[in-house]
Amino acid sequence: MITVLLIALAGIVSVFIATIAILAVRSAPEDLRSYDVPSGTLVMTDQASLAAYTEMATAFADMGKAFDAMPEAERLATVRAALDGMGEAKSLEETVVPVDAEGVSGEWVLPAHGRVLRKILYIHGGFFSMGSPVSHRAMTTRLARECDAAVFAPRYALLPENPRKRMVGDCRRAYAWLAAAPVPGWPTMLPITVAGDSAGGNLALVTARWASRQTGLDHPASVVALSPATDATMSSLTRANRKDDILVGPTLDPVLKLAPLVWRLAILAKFKVWPNDPEISPLFGDLSRLPPTFIQVGSSELMLGDSLRYANKARAQGSDVRLQRWTGLPHVWHLMDLDAEAARQSWQAIAAFISDPAGASSGPRDDDRDAVAPFPDRTTASSTQTPLPKALP
């Protein structure tokens, strides 16, 4: 009897070990360490901007600590409400128009100056579980104003209430709708930029790659990703920045203490997608034939490596991807909406790229490694077109 039990136990252990081995191989990331070479443009942040952003990031981090003791569901609801409150408190000159995009709700943000030369699909960040078009109005209003754009921000499905495939599907539907939708009060079809920050930067890269391979659908003219997450396996993180990243470091620190396989299985359970699948980790996809892409990231970010590897791999596969590394700035500093020189310069670079993705006005190409970026005066778009109405139907 004991012998039979031992044989059965040995069989169970063998099956368990084999299962773990299969899961480890199936979820393992591609070794992309060869793409860790610093590249792109290193932008030296002025000291006044650096101090202002560091102070703001520290305040955000301290505010986040106050929520840590809450039960998870209460904490998530509280943070979501707090983020939306920031957006609602923003004084708006731009026109905001709620809209339904084939089942995906969202809002148009239209520039107050009434000049529209392009459309932007803006996908907000928030760890895939928080944020909204309202919370990110600091981004969408600035894009509308600086880029002469009608910005559409979708309210895509969030975790934990929805699986990853639902949020990806929402972004695809939003893009397809935007490609066919005229801007309110504007009769002509316009080129589309796909943009996003952090988790939204991840979705922007995934959505743009998908859209650029569709037939019968207008392809993106360009892509802008701000501090994007490109690798859900966490194998691309710049661990040397672990203590310097004020915002993301404390959140991911417990994760970095886990065995890599444990984390990858947790991602599989949470997102219902293998962590090395390009649908959640755009870094591991085919990065050839991408639209012109512009990435900004802080040099001290934990996710700096996500941007470096993505840009280097895409360029190696023939795509035009430009990267700016800003010294010392925190994760998605743009959302802090500060009146700082670094804010002016970074938005100016974004506007220059979107206005002319294939040209030189967006600054040096990535093969000019570690050059300090010039910021040319933005070329003012022609104002001869009919302005948008202030009151829209």
For residue range 261-288, what is the model confidence (pLDDT) as tens digits? 888 888 888 888 999 999 999 999 999 9
Task: Please name the amino acid found at residue 277.
Answer: D
* Torsion angle, alpha carbons of 68, 71, 73, 76, to 10: -10
Give the pLDDT confidence score for residue 10 in this predicted structure: 56
Q: Is 293 helix (H, G, I), strand (E, B) or coil?
A: strand
Read off the pLDDT of each residue in 107-115 and give the average, rounded to a whole number. Answer: 94
Compute the average pLDDT of residues 191-196: 97
Q: How many Cβ atoms from other residues are within 10 Å of residue 253's Cβ? A: 13
CA atoms within 13 A on the CB side of 191: 15
CA atoms within 13 A on the CB side of 157: 15
Q: How many CB atoms lie within 10 A of CB 44?
A: 13
Over residues 313-321, mean pLDDT: 97
Confirm whether pTM is higher than 0.85. Answer: yes
Q: CB 296: neighbour CB atoms within 10 A? A: 29
Q: Which of 23-37, 54-68, 112-126 has the lowest mean pLDDT?
A: 23-37
Q: Which CATH number fits domain 37-355: 1.20.1250.20, 3.40.50.1820, 3.50.50.60, 3.40.50.1580?
A: 3.40.50.1820
Could you tell me which residue, 45 or 255, shows the higher pLDDT?
45
Residue pointed to by tokens 């077109």? 385
User: Helix, strand or coil for residue 202?
Assistant: helix
| C-alpha–C-alpha distance, residues 269 and 34, integer Å | 30
Question: Taking the mean position of all CA atoms in its chain, how far away is CA 372?
Answer: 24
Cα separation, 261 vs 257, in Å, equals 12
Active-site residue, from 132, 135, 198, 362 = 198
Report, as an integer, the average pLDDT of 185-210: 93
pLDDT bucket at 257, cuts 50 / 70 / 90: confident
pLDDT of res. 187: 67
Residue 391 has a pLDDT of 30
Instruction: Please give the residue that has the higher pLDDT: either 365 or 185.
Output: 185
Average pLDDT value for residue range 102-113: 95
Mean pLDDT, range 355-368, rounded to an integer: 60
H helices of the chain, in order, are 2-27, 47-67, 72-88, 137-146, 164-180, 199-211, 249-256, 260-271, 304-316, 341-355
CB neighbours of residue 379 within 10 Å: 11
Mean predicted confidence (pLDDT) in 153-166: 96
pLDDT at 19 over 70: no
198 is annotated as an active-site residue: yes
pLDDT of 370 > 50? The answer is no
pLDDT at residue number 371:
42
Q: Minimal CA–CA distance to 170: which of 198, 210, 224? A: 210
Euclidean distance between CA atoms 269 and 263, whole angstroms: 10
Residues near 93 by beta carbon (within 8 Å), at least 6 away in sequence: 112, 141, 145
Give me the residue spans of the domains in the chain. 37-355
Rounded CA-CA distance 152/112 in Å is 15
